[in-house]
Amino acid sequence: MSTNDLVIAVELGTAKIAAVAAVVDASGCLEIKSLAYVPSEGIQKGSVRDVAEAARGVDNVLGKIERHLKVRASEIWLSASGSSLTSTTGLAMMPIYPGGRAIRRQDIHQVLGNSRKVTLPSGHEQVLAVPREYIVDGQRGMMRPIGLAGSRLEVSTHIVSGATVQIQSAENVIEATGRKVLGMVPSSLGSGLGVLSEEAMDLGCAVLDIGAGKTDLSVFVDGAYVYQDVIPIGGALVTRDLQQLLRTTFDEAERLKLEHGSALADAADGGETVQVQQFDQDHARPMQRRVLCEIIESRMKELFDLAAQSLDEADLSGGVPRSVVLSGGGSLLPGTEELLLRILPKAQVKGGQPMVSGRFAGQVASPMLATVVGVARYALESGDEELAPISGSSGWRDRMRALISKFDRKG
């Protein structure tokens, strides 16, 4: 197989390390050529805690893909995650001389470079910078202004930064396997690209990806990625609540959540019971299912309250998007969509899953794989020919990329 058009994406998740190999098929769809995942080790709440353990997991999943495709996975696109990721907007303006001439590639580079000169928190570095829109002589909404005549060029750039120690640790994981990072994609952007159609992004949409260790929030407006946040609550914390309050093991708490749980306590009939194996009991004992669901609802409501607060505080043109898509393994819990509707009663809430082609399409069509699929989509869909630094730098931190659709996404 030729590797010229093949991209390999890796997600370092709290519950799993996942990898996909993908191409654009003849019909313009994302085709998954190979897929592998293993339980995570050395990763907590999306951040690397043990490089060696995480590297073994990455080597495992990439080894499976290499053996399947008979290629060397030497260059990797990686999801950037962790609670340190922050979102900001960079603004810049420059005059065009002589006035009225066609805007050139060099003009784009200059104004984009100026827009990236923002003050970041101490110990942070930029992970991703993508143009939200260009404004030419006051006319908004331009996405590719090269060749347009104008006298004044402005740009609004969405910048995502993260703690340098977290970003470097994730890169060290890949390098420890003898491979190279081609680029990092915020997991919130990956989740959004993994489940959203072009139409949904154009109309405006928020995505909540509920993982094991945290929840990623992304917002798209007029087709642009404009905001992201990380909420430090995920499915594993719900399980921890059950473990502590029911005095049982983590595995037993997870079983109770998956087999009998709901994000809505109202879903449980007052007479329903479940069997719980507690630490101090030789035999399982009955407990009202409603108690189980009340514990789950309390934590899930906290999660959605924080998400609603983040959306309210974000500087979003046009206000909070009315459409919200849920993804991630935590979104599979019954009652999740209904509970979010109680927090955001004016929203249109639905679950989302990747829409891909190929023999792995059935396996990949899971909310749990939205992020890694979206990272592959970004690598294939974004264009960097016009936005690579004029200096020719090959470092991923110095590159600017724009979302330029190559896909037929109707989902």
Q: What is the pLDDT of residue 396?
A: 62
Q: Which long-range contacts (CB under 8 A, 24 or more apart) does 302-305 make?
A: 302/233, 303/210, 303/215, 303/231, 303/233, 304/339, 304/340, 304/343, 304/344, 305/343
pLDDT band at 392 (very low <50, low <70, confident <90, very high): very low
Residue 76: alpha-carbon gap to chain centroid: 16
Which one, of 175, 189, 158, 174, lies nearest residue 91 by Cα? Answer: 158
Q: What is the pLDDT of residue 338?
A: 96
Query: Which token pair is 9?
Result: 């994406």
Comparison of pLDDT for 289 and 394, the residue scoring more: 289
**CATH at residue 103:** 3.30.1490.110
Q: What is the pLDDT of residue 318?
A: 63
DSSP H or E segment with residue 274? strand 273-276
Pairing of strands 75-80, 16-24: unpaired
- Taking only the tens place, the pLDDT of each residue in 232-245 is 999 999 999 999 99
**pLDDT at residue 2 tops 50:** no
pLDDT band at 294 (very low <50, low <70, confident <90, very high): very high
97 belongs to a structural domain: yes
126 belongs to a structural domain: yes
75 belongs to a structural domain: no
130 belongs to a structural domain: yes
Q: Tell me the backbone φ, ψ of residue 283, rounded to 5 degrees.
A: -130, 155
339 belongs to a structural domain: no
Could you say which of 141, 163, 185 is where a domain stops? 163
131 belongs to a structural domain: yes
- Taking only the tens place, the pLDDT of each residue in 315-353 is 776 667 889 999 999 999 999 999 999 999 989 999 999
* Cβ proximity of 374 and 216 under 8 Å: no
pLDDT band at 403 (very low <50, low <70, confident <90, very high): low
306 belongs to a structural domain: no
pLDDT band at 405 (very low <50, low <70, confident <90, very high): very low
**pLDDT at residue 231 tops 70:** yes
Per-chain mean pLDDT for the chain = 88
Rounded to an integer, the average pLDDT of 91-106 is 92
Give strand pairing partners of 142: 134
Could you say which of 121, 138, 163 is where a domain stops? 163
**pLDDT at residue 410 tops 50:** no
Q: Tell me the backbone φ, ψ of residue 367, rounded to 5 degrees.
A: -55, -25
Comparison of pLDDT for 257 and 45, the residue scoring more: 257
Q: Tell me the backbone φ, ψ of residue 385, rounded to 5 degrees.
A: -60, -45
Q: What is the pLDDT of residue 72?
A: 92
**CATH at residue 278:** 3.90.640.10
Could you say which of 130, 147, 163 is where a domain stops? 163
Number of domains in the chain: 2
What does DSSP assign to residue 103? P
Comparison of pLDDT for 311 and 404, the residue scoring more: 311
Find the domain containing 96 and state its range. Answer: 86-163
Residue ranges of alpha helices (H) inside 154-288 are: 164-176, 187-195, 198-203, 235-246, 250-260
Q: Is 261 exposed, middle or buried (0-12, 13-18, 19+ CB in 10 A)?
A: buried
Residue type, 80: A
The Cα 169–Cα 187 span in angstroms is 16
399 belongs to a structural domain: no
**pLDDT at residue 269 tops 60:** yes
Q: What is the pLDDT of residue 35?
A: 95
How many residues are present in the chain? 411
> For 228, what's the count of Cα atoms within 13 Å in the CB-facing half-sphere?
32
**pLDDT at residue 381 tops 70:** yes
Comparison of pLDDT for 401 and 203, the residue scoring more: 203
Specify the residue for token string 């353990």. Answer: 53
pTM higher than 0.85: yes
**pLDDT at residue 391 tops 70:** no
Q: What is the pLDDT of residue 55?
A: 94
